[in-house]
A and B are shown apart, each in its own frame.
Chain A
Amino acid sequence: MLGMGEPNDSAVSRSNESERSVHDVILRMLDEDTGLDDAIKGAVLDALAEVIDTEHGPVDANTTPTFLTTISVAGFRGIGSQAKLDLYPSPGLMVVSGRNGSGKSSFAEALELALTGTSFRWHLKEKMWEETWQNLHRPDPCAIRIGFTTEGVGACTIGLDWSPGAPLTERSSWTQTGMEKRVDGIEHLSWARPLELWRPVLSYDELGRLFDGGPSALYDALAKLLGLEDLADAEKWLAAQLKSTKTIRDRADAERKQLLAVLAQFDDERAERATALLRKKGASVEDVLALATGSDDAASTVLPALRAITRLVTPTLDDIEAAVMRLRSAAQAAATAAANVADGTRQRVELLQAALRFHDQAGGVECPVCGQGTLDDEWAAITRQTITGTEQALSEYRSATAELTQARSAAMNLAANLQTVGEVDDVELPALAAYCDAVAAAQAFPDGDAELASHLESTLVSVADVVGALRDEATVALQTRESAWAPIAAQLGGWVLLEQEARAIDGDVKTMTAAKRWMADHAGQFRNLRLQPVAAQARKIWGQLRQESNVDLGDITLQGSATRRRAILGGEVDGKPTKALSVMSQGELHALALALFLPRATAVDSPFRFVVLDDPIQAMDPAKIDGFVQVLSDIAQTHQVIVFSHDDRLASVIRETGVDARLVEVVRETGSKVTVRDNVNPALRQVNDIFALIKDDKLPDDIRARVLPGLFRVAVEAAAKQSYYTKQALLGVPRVESEQSWASVKKTISRLALAVHGQPSADLKGWLDAKPGRRGTLRLCNAVHSEAKGIDVPEARDLERTVQAVLALR
């Protein structure tokens, strides 16, 4: 109707494509990425499942279309006694104008407070607001009522109440659907998420600050608008998961590092071996464990050596005494035996035996040796006796000699069997040298049995003396080592457990890292894919708003992530590329903020079919206001647009250009008495036009008669349409159905019947007769040429009253 852009079909379908859930798009991307490892895919899916199912799936968000019917306020901000702003719960533009301080913003703030529990205005200025939120003149009663209609449900009210003197935060809030019981709080409406995503209330302050936060704040705001938080949450979840998984690996590594530091100060070959093992990535933890528990001592030398020393055995004093005594007595016995058996005895015995054998053969003969004696029987008997005695002495001698030999070797063995002990690395054993010396001394045998006995007696005793000290030293050294090692062994054991745990999840860490990288890579593409339609819409709105601005809005892109995230607005100034933001004036920034955020507030999925703008045009020049009205009219095709403005320029554009819009004026009188007046209503404007035509006396009567019936009809039907849609919305009838019913009847009387009784065929008789002038008005709506002649002010007054009566239907 205004020659403004029709809703762009291709843009709509594209935006539907872009409304596909993050989940679906990621799934598709995963499918397309054929080279991707299954484990990584699994991790990405886990992340998505985690963030989407838990917090804000589309399931628990209420998206039933909702319009506003009333905002009623008492004792709040600039409004004293109760003031009510009636709204038509259907698509259309409504401007609420009023001077500064007229109380109009109080309506917007009341709505914002009821919906979100806060207001952008006092978000950062809480202190100030605590004192000024209540009306100064009439703080009691203090209450807010917001009326809604929801398709399929009907009328619904949100109420906020304060007891007298209660602070802002101590309020009771409730909701009431139709005539049902009030329910505490507004949570069960499930609007929390939609409010965050598609906030339907935008204030001047909020728009102005959009760019103050810098590119990262803008990024967040845009990401929110694109519904990309799921994506960011999934990325965050992966990062957190990776971090917590990695903590185990990190702990194992930190423990390894600490162990290495401790081991470096530890002077022990086990420490060296442990160090070597720990330095090697992927070293066998079993080896480390064996080292810790001591089950691999074979591999080391010091400990066994020390243990051998502690087990060192030397002859006891008794042993020594016995051996020496034996040696001594054997030596003495041998000496005695030797004395008994004089030298040459054996030869003499052998000679005598030979002589006896000779005698036995030759009989009594002269001695062949000396030749003087006779070897007779007497001699033989004597000789035999002698030989026997002598042989006895000889055998004694032999056994004494054998005993001596044994005793000597036994005694010498005592010394020879002494264990020698070598130096032990890194262990100081002062007694070791003495022991070695004593052993060496003991083993240096002198000649002679008596000397040997005395030698062994003294040296072995000193060995026995010194070995006790050596054993003690070794035992102490061993204990020291063990007690110093024990905690390290425990630590090693602990590390082994950690390391085993960490190794078990090393694969996970790798997968998670890859999944995180995959997300980051694809999220970037995805974000900008999603942004495209919104950016296009923003550019379109900017195109309407910019008017004289020489700044051309180009690509809007989201770049980076985490702390380096930022939104980039490209642009051209007189054809030269530049960053758009830096070259824009305050008014242009404002228009740009609107261009970016009207798409958010009017997103297809939003349950809020209303957009409330509080003072949006403060910094705009008139050309932009024209563009702004066009933008709003576009949105008003599908949404209930409510604009609060203290600036009469917006109102005047609407008044003068015949935009199909309602204009109400808020006036505040002394004592905070706020009244709302219907200033321009599409139906009432028709009535005004009719008065103007009647008053124009230069207009020929026949032309007036041709024109007026049509204008009467438009006025009555405009009023009927507003009332019908309002009533239907309050009953919860979906907008589409109301539109179909409306379009299916063409006659004025049927449309009036729809408005009055909800049925096109209903009987209007009673209603038409209730007030004089109604029938006349209806007749003139359908009058043909001649019947319409002579219409004058009284007929126009009847029309005005009838239209007002229709508008008052609810």
Chain B
Amino acid sequence: MSAVELLAQAQHILATRGTAGSASRMAAFLARRALEEIIEARCASLHASAPWATTRSKLLILRALDTADASDGAAIAWSRLSNACHLHAYEMQPSTAEVEHLCRVVTRLMPA
């Protein structure tokens, strides 16, 4: 699935909320996949494609080579989406508003 399709899915899930209360976590998972696609695409467009490197490395590639807005946005969105994708002992699942916001951040990061 392409990043666009993944984001569309995520937003659909958030909009319908027919998933017994776990909509936000599922949407976060899809959005993170989309973000990873986008990060890879951005790296590739900077002639720095490293498909097997860790996402942290890729984010650092963006920090060094891409715009500050893009690299910061990607780092924050990835960190927070990752947080949302994992079950943490003392944390509640992410709010739908938060995931909606992160989806918008990811959408803005899509290469033109």
Contact = CB atoms under 8 A, between A and B. Distances in A.
A623 B94 contact: yes
Interface in B65-112: 65, 68-69, 72-73, 75-76, 79-80, 83, 90-92, 94-95, 97-98, 105
Interface residues of B, number: 29
B57 A622 contact: no
A420 to B, nearest CB: 113
A711 B60 contact: yes
Contacts of A649: 90-91
A658 B64 contact: no
A706 B60 CA distance: 11
Contacts of A626: 80, 98
A547 B65 CA distance: 33
Nearest to B88: A622
A187 interface: no
B60 A621 contact: no
B72 A2 contact: yes
A3 B75 CA distance: 12
Contacts, number: 84
A711 B94 contact: no
Interface in A699-740: 699-700, 703, 706-708, 710-711, 714
Contacts of B15: none
A298 interface: no
A656 B79 CA distance: 6
B49 to A, nearest CB: 8
Contacts of A706: 48, 61, 64-65
A635 B90 CA distance: 28
Interface stretch (A226-234, A597-605, A688-696): A688-696
A692 B79 contact: no
Nearest to A647: B90
Contacts of A656: 79-80, 83
A696 B48 contact: no
A588 to B, nearest CB: 14
Interface residues of A, number: 27
B contact patch SS: helix
Contacts of A698: 50, 52-54, 57
B79 A658 contact: yes
B61 A696 contact: no
A657 interface: yes
A1 interface: yes
Contact of A693 (B57, B72, B79, B92): B57
A212 interface: no
A366 to B, nearest CB: 180
Contact of A699 (B57, B65, B68): B57
Given A1-B68, A547-B97, A692 B76 contact: no
B79 A623 contact: no
Contacts of A548: 95, 97-98
B17 interface: no
A2 B61 contact: no
A696 B54 contact: yes
B12 interface: no
A493 B97 CA distance: 82
Interface in A607-627: 621-623, 626
Given A547-B97, A707-B48, A692 B72 contact: no
A3 B90 CA distance: 27
A696 B98 CA distance: 31
Contact of A692 (B57, B83, B90, B105): B57
Given A2-B72, A547-B97, A657-B80, A696 B105 contact: no
Contact of B75 (A658, A693, A696, A711): A658
Given A657-B76, A698-B50, A699-B53, A3 B105 contact: yes
A692 B65 contact: no
A698 B53 CA distance: 5
Contacts of A714: 63
Contacts of A699: 50, 53-54, 57
A700 B80 contact: no
B48 A547 contact: no
A658 B94 contact: no
Contacts of B64: 706-708, 710-711
B57 to A, nearest CB: 4
Contacts of A696: 53-54, 56-57
A622 B92 CA distance: 8
A1 B57 contact: no
Interface in A646-693: 649, 656-658, 689, 692-693
A696 B50 CA distance: 11
Residue from the set B76, B80, B90 with the largest chain A CB neighbour count within 10 Å: B76
B61 A703 contact: yes
B52 to A, nearest CB: 4
Nearest to A704: B57
B70 to A, nearest CB: 11
B56 A622 contact: no
Contacts of B61: 703, 706-707
B76 A658 contact: yes
A714 B64 CA distance: 9
Interface string B29-61: 000000000000000000010101110110011
Interface of A: 1-3, 547-548, 621-623, 626, 649, 656-658, 689, 692-693, 696, 698-700, 703, 706-708, 710-711, 714
Given A3-B73, A548-B95, 20 more contacts: A1-B68, A1-B72, A547-B97, A547-B98, A548-B97, A622-B92, A649-B91, A656-B80, A656-B83, A657-B80, A658-B79, A689-B63, A692-B54, A692-B60, A696-B57, A698-B57, A699-B50, A700-B50, A703-B61, A707-B60
Interface of B: 48, 50, 52-54, 56-57, 60-61, 63-65, 68-69, 72-73, 75-76, 79-80, 83, 90-92, 94-95, 97-98, 105
6 contacts: A548-B97, A548-B98, A699-B54, A707-B63, A707-B65, A711-B63
Q: Which 9 A-B pairs have the closest CB atoms?
A: A698-B52, A707-B64, A699-B53, A710-B64, A656-B79, A696-B57, A548-B95, A703-B48, A698-B53
